[in-house]
Amino acid sequence: MRGIRRWFPLFPVCTIALAFATGAAGYTLNYTLPASGGCPVPTRFSTVTAIAREWSTSLPVSPQTIFTVAAPGTSQQITEIQQTIETAFSAWTGVTGTTLNATTYPDALAPLGDTSTQDACANDQESNLTGEDTICFNQSSTAFTPGVLAFTRVFAATAPGQTLGSTTSSFAGQILEADILVRNDGQVTFATPGALASNPSSYDLESVLIHEMGHFFGLEHSPIWRAVMTPFAPPPGTYFGERPTATEPDAPLADDDRTGLRVLYPDPNDTTDVGVITGRVLPANPLSLAGLQATAAGEYVSGIFGANVVAVDANTGQVMAGALSGWSCSSASAAPVFDGTYTIERLPLGRTYNLYIEPLDGLFTPADIGGGGLNLCSTTSATPCTAPPVNADFVPHVRPAG
C-alpha cells in the first residue's frame, strides 16, 4: 500500500440513495435493482454526453462553516472554493483506463457551472429535482444526523426511458441526478487546503469532496483502510493521503478507488487493467447455512455473504482492490443466487496476486459499508428473492496449494 495511514473514526461521511435507486454495497459499487427485477446493475452515469455539474455559491455566513485564505464574501473566496472543487474532481478524472479520464476523454465532464440558488440540491421531499448535478454548502437537511459531515443523494433510473429534467435514461442504473450536500449548521467547520493550517479544528474540504465525488460517480464505501472511499474521515486539521499534483491528479486515491472507477467506466482501449479474479467463499461445513432460503423458487444460501475479499500484489504488498462476496446471476433477468461468489475486475495484467478473506467484524462493520447489508432483491417482481444477513461470524482458514 502507498502511504498507509489510519483514519480516526470521528465523523462518518456518507451517501444516501433515494427516489429511483435501490442502493447496495457489493465490491466498491452502488447497485440499482431494475424495475422488472432480476440481476442488480451498477449505478453510473452515461458518458455518451458530458456529465453536467455545478455548485451553489451560496455560503453560510452565521455561523461561518467554510474557511478560506480569501476574505469571506469576496469574489476571491468564490474562486478559491471553486478551485478546491475542481481539484477534487481531478482526482477522479486523473484515473487512467476510464472514460472519465481528462486526458483521453477531455469532454467527459462539462465545465463546472455555478448558481446563486441556496437550495439548489434536491431537498428532503425530493420536490425540486431538476436533473442538475449540484454541490451545496448552505442547504439544510434532516439527513445531517449526528456525525455526518456530508452526504450524496443519487437518483438513478430503474428502467430505460425514465426522465428527470432534460435527461432520459437509456439503461437501468443510469444516474439522472447526483447532489452533494456539506454540513452547514456550525457543528463542524471546513477549510480549503490553503486555510487548513490556520484552522486546525476544521476538516479538510478537499478530502471531504473527493470522498463524496466517489459516491457521485457511483461508488459505495470501501473496507480498505487506505481507500478514499473508506467510511470515516481523518481528524480535523489533517489531509488523508497525498495532495493531488498537476502530474498526478489522482494521488489522493488508493488503487481500490481506481479499480472501482475502472469497473464503472471502463475504457474500451485499455489493454492493461483487464485482469479478473473470481471465485467463491464457502463454509467448511455447508450445514452452517442450512435453512437460509433466498428465493421464492426454493433456492438456498450456499456461500458466505459479505466476506471482504482483498487482492494484494504479491511482489509489492500493495492492496489493489477489494470485493464483497455473496452472489451471482445466471442472466440479466434472473434473481441473484447467494452462492458466495466474488469478482474483482480491472486488475493490472502481468502481476501475481495473493487473496485475503476476512469478515466485516473489526474496524468496519456491514453498517459502515452498505447500510447493514446488500439490498439486492425485490419481493414484488417476477423474480423475487430475499438477501441473507451479512455473515461476519466466520474464521478464515488457509488451504495449502496443491
pLDDT in 10s for each residue of the chain, 402 residues: 122 222 222 333 334 333 223 222 224 578 888 888 888 889 999 999 999 999 999 999 999 999 999 999 999 999 999 999 999 999 999 999 999 999 999 999 999 999 999 999 977 655 567 778 999 999 999 889 888 999 999 989 999 999 888 889 999 999 999 999 999 999 999 999 999 999 999 999 999 999 999 999 999 889 888 899 988 888 999 987 788 888 999 999 999 999 999 999 999 999 999 999 999 998 888 777 766 666 666 678 889 988 999 999 999 999 999 888 888 988 888 888 889 999 999 999 999 999 999 998 877 777 777 643 456 887 777 777 888 888 888 888 766 654
Contacts 24+ apart (CB under 8 A), 243-248: 243/193, 243/206, 244/87, 244/90, 244/91, 244/94, 248/94
What's the pLDDT score for residue 367? 76
Give 191's strand partners: 67, 204
What's the pLDDT score for residue 94? 97
What's the pLDDT score for residue 157? 92
Distance CA 97, CA 271 (A): 9
Is the whole-model pTM more than 0.85?
A: yes
Distance CA 222, CA 348 (A): 20
Parallel/antiparallel/unpaired status of strands 134-136 and 175-182? parallel
List the domains of the chain with CATH numbers.
14-254 (3.40.390.10)
